[in-house]
């Protein structure tokens, strides 16, 4: 029996993936990151000094390299910003189809447990609120978000097929909007947008009238949920799917005001047209995660923003009063 479990993390140089790598290393894992550095950055991993860690530049659309014995495959590679859904449409669609196929084959061939990163986007513009895991969603199959939404849905379908046909233990996490340090200021998601604009003294871009809602989870809460789900015994979690996210739903225009309050900034709010198929509401039903894992988020939006702001200020080379 090996003393140190080996986890392969695809997308390990990304925002979520790099925090997952840190958490696994903290718990004594040997960890290998596979990343093509498309939206992720080597700097997200530059602080790691552990000999138990390896970072390999690899595109998951290609078959995985031989990495020796593997116990866990965390498949987190995929661009996740709506800004990229059209500009990198084919890449995203193939990362979540061919890439997921490679990741699941790799887990199967190594007799490893797989943890698949899915998304609240599989619920589309939801007609059921809050969204529970049994809801099948409302995705426009031909809309601008489809390369991401539909390929994530296919990832889940492929996971179910692998479970049925090969009896692989694949656990799927449907991640709702998550934020924190190491997101790129130009990432294009709403919290990076607002923080970057506010720190630069620019107006905050709100799409539509800003009454659309989201629920924002701080990254440490998400990682705790992913790890608990991955570590849960098979009789509790094998082949299951759970929502992970905050249930504190907030209007986007309220989020803009909260960010200005936390920063003590006075930027204007600038309204632009609502993008096509933008979900009007989003809030996870986390009953299953609570029951299975005893998991729920603990970091408030204000506390999470306080922890995130210094990272953005550093990246943008602006200063903020750390007492704020």
Ligand X SMILES: NC(=O)c1ccc[n+]([C@@H]2O[C@H](COP(=O)([O-])OP(=O)(O)OC[C@H]3O[C@@H](n4cnc5c(N)ncnc54)[C@H](O)[C@@H]3O)[C@@H](O)[C@H]2O)c1
Rg (CA), the chain: 19
Q: What is the dihedral of CA 242, 246, 251, 252, to 10 degrees?
A: -90
Residue 155 binds ligand X (CB under 6 A): no
Residue 13 binds ligand X (CB under 6 A): yes
Residue 297 binds ligand X (CB under 6 A): no
Residue 226 binds ligand X (CB under 6 A): no
119 vs 212, beta carbon nearer ligand X: 119
Residue 177 binds ligand X (CB under 6 A): yes
Catalytic residue among 72, 106, 148, 179: 148
Contact between residue 296 and residue 290 where contact means Cβ atoms under 8 Å apart: yes
- Dist CA 49 CA 225 (whole Å): 25
Site string for ligand X, 30-49 (x = CB under 6 A): -----xxxxxx---------
Residue 15 binds ligand X (CB under 6 A): yes
Contact between residue 237 and residue 176 where contact means Cβ atoms under 8 Å apart: no
76 vs 162, beta carbon nearer ligand X: 76
Residue 279 binds ligand X (CB under 6 A): no
Whether 106 is a known active-site residue: answer no
Q: Taking contact as CB under 6 A, which single stretch among the options 66-74, 161-169, 170-178, 198-206 is the one that binds ligand X?
A: 170-178
Footprint on residues 194-223 left by ligand X (CB under 6 A): none
Longest dimension (CA), the chain: 60
Beta strands in 86-151 (DSSP E): 113-119
Residue 11 binds ligand X (CB under 6 A): yes
Residue 60 binds ligand X (CB under 6 A): yes
DSSP β-bridge partners for residue 118: 174
Of 160, 257, 175, give the one whose Cα is nearest residue 221: 175
Active-site residue list: 148
């Amino acid at each position: 029996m090996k003393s140190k479990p080996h986890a392969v993390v695809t997308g390990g140089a990304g925002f979520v993936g790099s925090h997952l790598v840190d958490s696994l290393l903290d718990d004594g894992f040997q960890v290998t990151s596979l990343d093509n550095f498309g939206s992720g950055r080597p700097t997200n991993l530059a602080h790691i000094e552990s000999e138990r860690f390896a970072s390999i530049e690899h595109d998951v659309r290609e078959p995985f390299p031989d990495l020796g014995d593997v116990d866990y495959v965390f498949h987190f590679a995929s661009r996740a910003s709506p800004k990229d859904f059209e500009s990198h449409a084919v890449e995203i669609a193939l990362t979540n189809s061919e890439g997921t196929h490679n990741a699941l084959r790799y887990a199967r061939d190594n007799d490893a447990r797989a943890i698949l990163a899915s998304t609240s986007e599989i619920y589309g513009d939801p007609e059921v609120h809050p969204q529970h895991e049994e809801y099948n969603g409302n995705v426009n199959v031909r809309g601008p978000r489809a390369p991401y939404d539909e390929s994530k849905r296919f990832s889940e379908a492929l996971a179910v097929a692998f479970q049925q046909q090969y009896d692989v233990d694949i656990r799927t996490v449907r991640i709702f909007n998550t934020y924190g340090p190491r997101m790129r200021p130009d990432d294009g998601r709403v919290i990076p947008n607002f923080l970057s604009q506010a720190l630069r003294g620019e107006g905050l871009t709100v799409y539509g009238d800003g009454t659309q809602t989201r629920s924002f989870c701080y990254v440490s809460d998400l990682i705790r949920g992913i790890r608990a789900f991955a570590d849960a015994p098979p009789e509790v979690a094998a082949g299951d799917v759970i929502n992970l996210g905050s249930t504190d739903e907030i209007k986007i225009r309220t989020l803009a005001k909260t960010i200005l309050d936390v920063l003590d900034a006075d930027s204007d709010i600038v309204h632009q047209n609502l993008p096509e198929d933008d979900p009007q509401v989003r809030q996870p039903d986390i009953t299953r995660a609570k029951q299975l894992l005893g998991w729920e988020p603990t970091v408030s939006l204000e506390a999470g923003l306080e922890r995130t702001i210094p990272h953005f200020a550093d990246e943008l080379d602006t200063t903020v009063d750390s007492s704020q």
